[in-house]
Chain A
Amino acid sequence: MYSNLEVEFINQLEEHQNILHKICKLYTGDMDSHKDLFQEMTIQLWKSYPSFRGDSKFTTWAYRVALNTAISLYRNKKRSIPTVQWDNSLHNIRYEEYDNRQEEQLRSLYLAVHELNDIEKALVYMYLEDKDYAEISETLGISEVNARVKMNRIKAKLKNMLNTKGGA
């Protein structure tokens, strides 16, 4: 019974592991922290897996637990999170797909997102994953209106950050 559950969990997680990788990508700045957070999210998912009854999709459940781990439960072993560091292997942009300008724009965008706080990153993550405001508000525990207002502020903040950097 127990090992069946384990096999089932591992199957699901292996298939949907990109959910975790994408959260790691927003919340960590180097490969070590990425792996560390990935592991912590996996442990938290596994710990709460018995209570996952399948009434929602595995992915919907998993991203919430994983996001909560990144925001509330995870303790970075390092003293500070290097926000400016850019690890190319981690933020792999396929160079052939983009011209230099786009590539530079993406790089600046990821760097700007890294400067946001944990809650803002969560909103950005859900926005990028195409979650609607009802789901965003339910996940974070804030009202839908406030989620929308905050999202607009984040967009303005990012625009501002990019303009300041571009102008300097």
Chain B
Amino acid sequence: MDELDVLKQHWNRDNSFPKINREEIRKMLHQSSSSIVKWIFVISCLEFLAGILLNYFSKKYWGAGSDALWEDVVYVFYYLVLLVFILLFYKKYKNIKAEKNTKKLTEDIIATRKLVQLYIYVNFIVISVEFIHGMWDGWHNIADATVRNGTPTWIQYSLFIGIVLVLAAILFSLIALFYYFLYIRLTKKLYKNYKELIQLDH
């Protein structure tokens, strides 16, 4: 007899499970879910919020001096992109249904995750541009100050470049670490199972 058939015999007779009563089930219904999708959703909402706040503050501090029209255009465009992302993401999130077949469900979750990834890339570019923009301003401020005060420039320049590089390194590694822990660890199992399903069909 097949090994699995031996197991099947015991399986069908096996009723030795803890009995969960009605009250316990009712309580469970009102507990919060720990599902991957919920976490992707929560993290993305926080990201959207962080993106908006970051832009608001950077505009407040950096944008105070210059009122260039192109900056306003960029910001409006950025918020429009953000809005499109929020709408698309919500649509995708709603599309995830546990009743679908496993492959389709996994694909839907991965598609949602990919959309969030795209959003992260867009944010990354925006942050980088702002960083370079800030650096450019800083550089010119030093240049202005040195013209006024006549102090040696090379120490200040190298100090400035050094600080900027350290700051950039810290900032980008923090962001990378953040995404590694939040997403890669979160969806590792999902990708593994998806790969297995794809392999099965080839």
Contacts and interface: CB of A to CB of B under 8 A. Distances in A.
Interface of A: 6, 9-10, 13-14, 17-18, 21-22, 25, 36, 38-40, 42-48, 51-52, 61, 64-65, 67-69, 71-75, 77, 92-94, 97, 102, 105-106, 109-110, 112-113, 117-120, 122, 124, 127-128, 130, 138-143, 146-147, 150, 154-155, 158-159, 162
Contacts of B19: 17
Given A42-B28, A119-B193, A139-B101, A17 B3 contact: no
B97 A43 contact: no
A47 B101 CA distance: 17
Contact of A142 (B36, B190, B200): B200
Given A42-B29, A128-B4, A128-B11, A72 B99 contact: no
A106 B1 CA distance: 13
B36 A73 contact: yes
B26 A75 contact: no
Contact of B6 (A97, A109, A124): A109
Q: Which of B6, B13, B19, B200 has the most CB of A within 10 A?
A: B200
B35 A71 contact: no
Given A72-B105, A74-B34, A141-B100, 15 more contacts: A17-B17, A18-B17, A46-B29, A47-B98, A64-B99, A65-B98, A72-B36, A119-B102, A119-B200, A122-B102, A124-B4, A139-B102, A141-B197, A146-B200, A150-B200
A67 to B, nearest CB: 7
Contact of A141 (B22, B102, B192): B102
B11 A22 contact: yes
B8 interface: yes
A75 to B, nearest CB: 5
B29 A43 contact: yes
A44 B33 contact: yes
Contacts of B148: none
Interface in B114-168: none
Interface of B: 2-4, 6-8, 10-22, 25-26, 28-29, 31-37, 39, 97-106, 109, 186, 189-190, 192-193, 196-197, 200-201
Contacts of B190: 72
A51 B102 contact: no
Given A72-B190, A92-B16, A117-B193, A51 B97 contact: yes
A46 B103 CA distance: 21
8 contacts: A46-B29, A48-B98, A74-B35, A75-B36, A112-B3, A118-B189, A138-B101, A139-B101
A44 B98 contact: yes
A122 B197 CA distance: 11
Contact of B102 (A25, A40, A130, A140): A140
